[in-house]
């Protein structure tokens, strides 16, 4: 109970209400003391009027008047003449004098608190203004014990009433907090617990229902978080299933391609000039397909394997890429231009660089084919002091907005309708494996240019 939000709110409410009542109690007790003393002055004035009406009062009647007024003597000043109207013996010297004609609130509170915490019975003098302008001044002497007892009785009644009000208010606030805050919060917690048991189940996503603005904002934020997490989990599950399927297909495809690789040995011995010219490219394509299947199997177990760095002529790789793409449908309207110095050699993994260039050139070719216009795809390369720079450019329509916003993101950065975006993601990962970087250099109505930067030596860019 005490560790709950509503329980602590109940305790704090009771404490705060009691504190407020204490702050009210102090001026209230001061006002009570003022009224008590003014009442004694008024009663003493009435007793003195009896003496004015009859100058010959017996001592017994005078004592009775003083007793009824609760004072020892009464002094009334009329017309600048101070007259002792009623008097009786005073049991002790006068301890203090209080002027009630124009006291300030601070003075009243200080005097009241001092009297409340002073247990000794004292005789005090009280000065006030007569009611109904019956004189200039009235002065009485009285004991403090009746005043203090009356103040204590009044204070206890005020505190008892304050306690009742505090408990009643706290109970009402406790019920209100449970209905308006605790119950909705428990509902949110329940949704979170149910969602945690089955995050893939969209039925566990919270539906905002709170009428309190802050709680509704929390529910909407939780709904957005749960929706995104559920989608991510579903995508992860699909990717896992896809990876498993690709690994199985790659395994079987590798066996098929290995068999095909054996048949190419006989093709190479053919006397047909065209066959002899095409056979090496066919052998190279099948070898790369086998290598890709093996890499796919490795990717299913971990990340892309580390590149095997060798020195090779870039123009040979680009020739193979262009030769493969020229055979594609619609490639007869596309010019493939190679702008690479003949002596330019890279230190990289040739198979991985072939995959990178194939992805980029194929994306460019597909963009031009989709647009239905003729165009040019150019691969340029140059050697810098600390790195090699390779540019793959086309004069096509440029990248779609979605592809630009999610570049290199799998399944989101596809450059064509229906594309998965894996080509750019894989290319970027392979280039990073070389310590390099793949960037989008230019994009617009004049075409698209990607740039590959590969570091020399063992450094990274």
Q: What pLDDT does residue 413 have?
A: 45
Residue 239 lies in a domain: yes
Residue 211 or 350, more confident:
350
How confident is residue 311, by pLDDT bands cut at 50, 70 and 90? very high
The string of pLDDT tens digits covering residues 264-280 is 666 666 667 776 677 67
162 and 214 assigned to the same domain? no
Classify residue 298: in a domain, yes or no. no
**Interval 436-460 mean pLDDT:** 83
Task: Look at residue 302 and tell me whether its pLDDT is greater than 50.
Answer: no
Residue 181 within a domain? no
> Does one domain contain both 327 and 445?
yes
Residue 430 lies in a domain: yes
Neighbours of 140 (CB within 10 A): 28
Burial 377-412 (b: 16+ CB within 10 A, else e): bbbbbeeeeebbebbbbbbbbbbeeebeebbbbbee
Percentage helix, strand, coil for the chain under 3-state DSSP, each rounded to 5: 60, 15, 25
Tokens of 162: 């304050």
385 compared with 420, residue with greater pLDDT: 385
Residue 420: the pLDDT is: 47
**What span, in angstroms and rounded, lies between the C-alpha atoms of 143 and 260?**
124
Cross-strand pairs, 338: 379
Residue 28 in tokens: 């209230």
Same domain, 28 and 155: yes
Number of residues written out for the chain: 461
Whether 131 is in a domain gets the answer: yes
Tokens in use for 451? 């740039």
pTM over 0.85: no
pLDDT band at 263 (very low <50, low <70, confident <90, very high): low
Residue where a domain terminates, one of 211, 229, 244: 244
Q: Is 206 found in the same domain as 145?
A: no
Same domain, 93 and 207: no
Average pLDDT over residues 331-341: 88
Confidence class for position 293, pLDDT limits 50, 70, 90:
low
Residue pair 440/407 in contact by the 8 Å Cβ criterion:
yes
Residue ranges with strand state E in 32-166: 73-78, 81-86, 94-99, 123-128, 137-143
Tokens 């009647």 identify what position?
A: 61
Q: How far apart are CA 413 and CA 399, in angstroms?
A: 10
Are 314 and 443 found together in one domain? yes
**Residue 266 has what pLDDT?**
61
Residue with tokens 């760095």: 309
| 3 state DSSP class of 344 | coil
pLDDT in tens, 392-403: 999 888 877 766
Asked if 312 and 444 sit in the same domain, the reply is yes
Under 8 Å between Cβ of 454 and 312: no
Report, as an integer, the average pLDDT of 374-387.
Answer: 91
For residue 332, is it within any domain? yes
What's the mean pLDDT when you consider all of the chain? 79
At which of 222, 244, 266 does a domain end? 244
**Is the confidence at residue 300, as pLDDT, over 80?**
no
Which range, of 106-120, 168-182, 305-319, 373-387, averages the lowest pLDDT?
168-182
Q: Are residues 85 and 216 in the same domain?
A: no
Whether 274 maps to a domain, the answer reads: no
What's the domain range around 231? Answer: 202-244
pLDDT attached to residue 69: 80
Q: Is residue 302 part of a domain?
A: no
Separation of alpha carbons 388 and 309, rounded Å: 14
- Note the pLDDT of residue 84: 58
- 170-196 burial code (b ≥16 CB/10 A, e <16): beebbeebbeebbebeeebeebeeebe
Residue that terminates a domain, selected from 132, 153, 171: 171
Q: Whole-angstrom distance between the N-terminal and C-terminal Cα of the chain?
A: 61
Percent of the chain with pLDDT over 90: 21
Q: How far is CA 117 from CA 29, 73, 93, in A?
A: 12, 26, 20
Residues 223 and 336 in one domain: no
> In this structure, are residues 33 and 108 in contact, taking their beta carbons and an 8 Å threshold?
yes
pLDDT tens-digit readout, 151-187: 999 988 888 887 788 778 778 877 887 777 778 888 8
Distance from chain centroid for Cα 112: 52
Q: Domain of 319: which CATH number?
A: 3.30.565.10
Residues 141 and 24 reside in one and the same domain: yes
Total count of domains within the chain: 3
Q: Do 213 and 348 fall into the same domain? A: no
* pLDDT interval class at 148 (50, 70, 90): very high
How many Cα atoms within 13 Å fall on the side-chain side of residue 198? 7
Tens digits of per-residue pLDDT, 5-28?
Answer: 667 777 777 777 778 777 888 888
Specify the pLDDT at position 55: 56
Are residues 311 and 437 located together in one domain of the fold?
Answer: yes
Residues 6 or more apart from 419 whose CB is under 8 A from it? none
Q: What is the pLDDT of residue 337?
A: 93
**C-alpha angle 306/307/310, rounded to 5°?**
150
């Amino acid at each position: 109970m005490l560790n709950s939000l509503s329980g602590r709110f109940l305790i704090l409410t009771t404490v705060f209400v009691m504190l407020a009542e204490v702050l009210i109690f102090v001026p209230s007790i001061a006002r009570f003391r003022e009224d008590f003393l003014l009442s004694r002055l008024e009663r003493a004035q009435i007793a003195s009027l009896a003496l004015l009406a009859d100058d010959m009062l017996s001592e017994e009647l005078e004592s009775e008047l003083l007793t009824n007024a609760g004072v020892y003597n009464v002094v009334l000043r009329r017309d600048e003449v101070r007259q002792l109207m009623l008097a009786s013996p005073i049991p002790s010297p006068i301890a203090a004098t209080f002027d009630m004609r124009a006291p300030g609130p601070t003075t009243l509170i200080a005097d009241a608190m001092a009297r409340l915490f002073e247990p000794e019975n004292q005789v005090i003098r009280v000065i006030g203004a007569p009611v109904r302008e019956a004189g200039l001044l009235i002065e009485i002497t009285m004991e403090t014990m009746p005043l203090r007892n009356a103040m204590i009785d009044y204070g206890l009644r005020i505190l008892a009433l304050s306690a009742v009000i505090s408990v009643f208010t706290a109970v009402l606030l406790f019920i209100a907090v449970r209905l308006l805050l605790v119950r909705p919060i428990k509902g949110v917690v329940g949704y979170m617990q149910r969602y945690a048991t089955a995050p893939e189940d969209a039925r566990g996503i919270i539906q905002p229902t709170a009428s309190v603005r802050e709680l509704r904002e929390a529910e909407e934020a939780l709904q957005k978080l749960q929706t995104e997490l559920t989608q991510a989990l579903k995508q992860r599950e699909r990717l896992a299933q896809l990876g498993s399927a690709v690994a199985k297909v790659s395994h079987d495809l590798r066996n098929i391609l290995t068999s095909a690789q054996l048949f190419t040995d006989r093709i190479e011995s053919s006397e047909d000039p065209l066959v002899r010219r095409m056979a090496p490219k066919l052998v190279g394509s099948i070898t790369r397909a086998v290598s890709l299947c093996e890499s796919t199997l490795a990717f299913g177990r971990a990340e892309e394997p580390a590149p095997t760095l060798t020195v090779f002529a870039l123009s040979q790789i680009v020739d193979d890429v262009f030769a493969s793409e020229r055979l594609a449908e619609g490639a007869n309207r596309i010019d493939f231009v190679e702008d690479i110095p003949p002596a330019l050699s890279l230190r990289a993994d040739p198979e991985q660089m072939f995959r990178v260039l194939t992805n980029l050139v194929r994306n460019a070719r597909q963009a031009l084919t989709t647009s239905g216009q003729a165009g040019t795809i150019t691969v340029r390369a140059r050697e810098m002091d600390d790195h090699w720079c390779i540019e793959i450019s086309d004069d096509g329509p440029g990248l779609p907005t979605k592809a630009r916003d999610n570049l290199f993101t799998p399944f989101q950065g596809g450059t064509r309708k229906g594309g998965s975006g894996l080509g750019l993601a894989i290319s970027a990962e392979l280039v990073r494996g070389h310590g390099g970087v793949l960037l989008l250099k230019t994009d617009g109505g004049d075409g698209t240019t990607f740039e590959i930067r590969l570091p020399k030596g063992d450094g990274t860019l």
